[in-house]
A and B are shown apart, each in its own frame.
Chain A
Amino acid sequence: MPHMSMIEAIRDAMDVKMSQDASVLTFGEDVGYFGGVFRCTAGLQEKHGLHRCFDTPISEGGIVGIAIGMAANGLRPVAEIQFADYIYPGYDQIASEAARLRYRSNGDFICPLTIRTPVGGGIFGGPTHSQSPEALFTHIAGLKTVIPSNPYDAKGLLIAAIESDDPVLFLEPKRLYNGPFDGDHESPSVSWKGHALGDVPSGHYTVELGKARHVSEGPDVTIIAYGTMVWVAEAVAANLGIKADILDLRSLVPLDLDAIETSVKKTGRCVILHEATRTSGFGAELMSQVQERCFYHLEAPIRRVTGWDTPYPHAQEWAYFPGQKRVTAAVREVLEAA
């Protein structure tokens, strides 16, 4: 089985779908000739032609808008927004249009488009290249929000997203593009080579949207995470020497409630992680769901570990990031509660 980085896996997913289905095409700023600033679409134009993979004006509202028109007209566009931080000019088209087209037309028109965009910190991107805006989208009915944590899932989830008849926002944690993350920003980056999750089958396969991945099983505590934070959770559990039930949600809408409920009822303790700003973050939704479903099984208050309610700082990136230290403290607290 070939080893792939997340970038290669994402590209491979598009390549597989573009080879199979002429209605799949991809476009965005610098996506065509150059292959994208993160090189996710490198080679696709050469292989599939100028009409299948092309550059667009720097106009996120325009990119999403044409994608909606194309999707309504029988294509399956995969639009790239260069950084999630720049998705706001396209927000109205996503929230008011893509997400609602099926509903407002009562199924007369559908909108099977995928919007890919890199999220999260880890590259010293400061306030304009590091945001995690997922909560702004999970609140929007009619839209799916997906976020992989590894190359294997990235490819399978992206193919599933492209095949979905619903609009999907596909968030790619850029800290994981080139390799896994051991939760410690000071250790050198390693590549996906040799990592089990970097083994990516060639050809077509899917990872179902709405099914969490059990990263590890254990009776001590449930840690719910997605994207980059999955790796922090793993590192913390290893360092603490505990047996944690770690869930990688993989998609926020739809959400794997069964996995969450089963796990928290088993462990009685729950820590929720995300990189995004704390207030009204997706963690708040997860806490509500756990509270509503598992209250009588809880042995400790639920804790969430998040970024701060500040814009993502440049120099203090790792002080903002909910790293091992912050997560360890929260897990300890939850474990030690009577």
Chain B
Amino acid sequence: MATPKSNQSRMYVPEPPFRPGDTPDYSHISVPTDHTPHRPDPMCDDHETVEHALKLIRVMRFNGETAGEWVPGLTPDVKRKMLKDMMLTRAMDDRMFAMQRQGKMSFYMKSRGEEAVSVGHAYALSDQDMVFPTYRQQGILIARGASMLEMMNQCLSNSGDPLQGKNIPVLYSFRKHGFFSISGNLGTQLIQAVGWGMAEAYKNEDGIASAFTGEGATAEGDFHYALNFASTYRAPCIINVVNNQWAISSFQGIAMGDGESFAARGTGYGLATLRVDGNDILAVYAATQWAAERARQGGGATVIEHFTYRAEGHSTSDDPSKYRPANESEVWPFGDPVERLKTHLVKIGEWDDEQHEAFAKEAKLFVRETYKQAEALGTVEHGPQLDDFTMFEQVYADPPELLLEQKEMFRKELG
């Protein structure tokens, strides 16, 4: 939203349109009714996507119909699977959030409202592609068939944790699922993804790298390193900005001022740019598929802005009602990604309310059972504990003498 530029000489700090107590009204965000812009050839010149950085790619109307050039040719089976993966992700998030509240975990981060971004993205990539995620793309792991038990074990830092207690909850590493180790330092993965993509190209392999960032973290230098290097070396990668409107308590304008869109940041670097309704999983799929094809064919990187809404708190550590109206997510004009796909599947006669209810129950049950298995392996608070000595492992390939000495000191300390 463009703020009137009066008082230009005065200190200016952007503010979100609403604060707690206000009645949120998103009429300033125009929801396009036609399903533009048009779908160019994936090998087009980057400047042919300049307008795509400002318009929204959408496929599904709110009534469940699909329209436009971006409608992907997915079978009902695939779409049903997508829906189920989103529902599973949400069910897992809900369970883990509740368990954190019960003191079983130090911390958790939900992805509610953003499931279409991760699940839709995963479906459009191939298995040899490496994703450089943030902490809000657990849906990619679910979509790629990762073991939920292993994911939960990581969150609990228990004896089944593949990371042996080294990382905080949700910062997964699953090389076997093309899921890069997540850093707690925001933005750092973006430029690493470019390097990964460059290495794929160097080795004459077909894999691409796909990096994610929140819109807040685009303010980090690493984002700009990544765009510049991706453009310079035409790296086969996708740089995804998940604009969920909020970076903890800071609204998206704090990261960008009056900028037009986050996708448009790519334009100045000579990259292809797409902006997509992130709550429309078919649009996310279509945009990703376009960018992946472009990268694989040597067209270079694409910046995709996924325009979405973080429907819950940033993490278990914050209370969103302290900085935004409590019902904001309900009036978010692009709806809920799960409901949107459900409406579409019902519309085409491939799903109904009973099936939906039944699967929601099944997902909840599956998550509960899996969590029980995970908890049986311990939690960070309650045993069975991990061996403390694992903390000394994997610091180096060949540990220096001083580190081995310290391990001995620790052994003595334990007596």
A and B assemble together: yes
Q: Which of B162, B163, B188 contacts A65 (CB 8 A)?
A: B188
Residues of chain A within 8 A of B180, CB atoms compared: 72, 109
Whether A80 is near chain B, meaning CB under 8 Å from some CB there, is no
Tell me if B181 and A65 are in contact (CB < 8 A): no
Instruction: Tell me the minimal C-beta distance from A88 to chain B in angstroms.
Output: 11
In whole angstroms, how far apart are the Cα atoms of A106 and B160 in the complex? 13
Tell me if B401 and A97 are in contact (CB < 8 A): no
Residues of chain A within 8 A of B197, CB atoms compared: 69
Q: Chain B residue with minimal CB distance to A93?
A: B188
Residue among B164, B197, B199, B226 with most chain A CB within 10 A: B199
A-binding segment of B57-65, B251-259, B371-379, B390-398: B390-398
CB-CB contacts below 8 Å: B121-171 with A: 130, 162-164, 166-167, 171
Q: Chain A residue with minimal CB distance to B187?
A: A92
Whether B37 is near chain A, meaning CB under 8 Å from some CB there, is no
CB-CB contacts below 8 Å: B185-233 with A: 185, 188, 190-200, 202-203, 209, 221-222, 225-226, 228-229, 232
Q: Chain A residue with minimal CB distance to B191?
A: A65
| Interface 1/0 per residue, B172-186 and A, CB below 8 Å | 011100001101010
CB-CB contacts below 8 Å: A86-124 with B: 89, 92-93, 96-97, 100-110
Instruction: Tell me the minimal C-beta distance from B244 to chain A in angstroms.
Output: 24
Number of A-B contacts defined by CB within 8 Å: 152
Q: Chain B residue with minimal CB distance to A106?
A: B163
In whole angstroms, how far apart are the Cα atoms of A107 and B392 in the complex? 12
Tell me if B185 and A69 are in contact (CB < 8 A): no
Whether B73 is near chain A, meaning CB under 8 Å from some CB there, is no
Tell me if B185 and A97 are in contact (CB < 8 A): yes
Q: Which of B174, B185, B200, B221 contacts A73 (CB 8 A)?
A: B200
Residues of chain B within 8 A of A47, CB atoms compared: none
Tell me if B396 and A74 are in contact (CB < 8 A): no
Chain B residues with a Cβ closer than 8 Å to the other chain, count: 46
Residues of chain B within 8 A of A102, CB atoms compared: 394-397
Residues of chain A within 8 A of B191, CB atoms compared: 61-62, 65-66, 69, 93
Instruction: Tell me the minimal C-beta distance from B170 to chain A in angstroms.
Output: 13
B-binding segment of A6-14, A250-258, A304-312: A250-258
Tell me if B163 and A25 are in contact (CB < 8 A): no
Whether A69 contacts B193 in the complex (CB less than 8 A), given A97-B185, A106-B162, A106-B164, comes out as yes
Whether A75 is near chain B, meaning CB under 8 Å from some CB there, is yes
Residues of chain B within 8 A of A56, CB atoms compared: 229, 232
Whether A255 contacts B400 in the complex (CB less than 8 A), given A61-B221, A104-B167, comes out as yes
Tell me if B199 and A74 are in contact (CB < 8 A): yes
Whether A16 is near chain B, meaning CB under 8 Å from some CB there, is no
Residues of chain B within 8 A of A108, CB atoms compared: 162-163, 173-175, 181
Residues of chain A within 8 A of B2, CB atoms compared: none
Tell me if B222 and A67 are in contact (CB < 8 A): no
Tell me if B398 and A61 are in contact (CB < 8 A): no
Tell me if B188 and A75 are in contact (CB < 8 A): no
| Interface 1/0 per residue, A38-76 and B, CB below 8 Å | 000000000000010000110101100111111111110
Residues of chain B within 8 A of A61, CB atoms compared: 191, 221-222, 225
In whole angstroms, how far apart are the Cα atoms of A145 and B26 in the complex? 54
Whether A323 is near chain B, meaning CB under 8 Å from some CB there, is no
Tell me if A104 and B166 are in contact (CB < 8 A): yes
Tell me if B181 and A66 are in contact (CB < 8 A): no
In whole angstroms, how far apart are the Cα atoms of A230 and B229 in the complex? 40
In whole angstroms, how far apart are the Cα atoms of A166 and B199 in the complex? 18
Whether B402 is near chain A, meaning CB under 8 Å from some CB there, is yes
Residues of chain B within 8 A of A164, CB atoms compared: 397-398
Instruction: Tell me the minimal C-beta distance from B296 to chain A in angstroms.
Output: 16
Tell me if B202 and A25 are in contact (CB < 8 A): yes
Q: Which of B130, B185, B202 contacts A75 (CB 8 A)?
A: B202
CB-CB contacts below 8 Å: B347-399 with A: 393-398
Residues of chain A within 8 A of B194, CB atoms compared: 65-66, 69
CB-CB contacts below 8 Å: A126-146 with B: 141-142, 144
Residues of chain B within 8 A of A104, CB atoms compared: 163, 166-167, 171, 173, 181, 183
The 4 closest A-B pairs by CB, nearest first: A69-B195, A65-B191, A66-B195, A254-B400
A residues lining the B interface (CB < 8 Å): 25, 51, 56-57, 59, 61-62, 65-75, 77, 89, 92-93, 96-97, 100-110, 141-142, 144, 164-166, 210, 253-255, 257-258
Q: List 11 A-B contacts (CB under 8 A).
A: A57-B229, A61-B191, A65-B194, A69-B194, A77-B195, A105-B167, A141-B403, A144-B400, A165-B397, A253-B402, A254-B400
* New A-B pairs, 5, CB < 8 Å, besides A59-B229, A67-B195: A70-B195, A73-B200, A102-B397, A166-B397, A254-B400
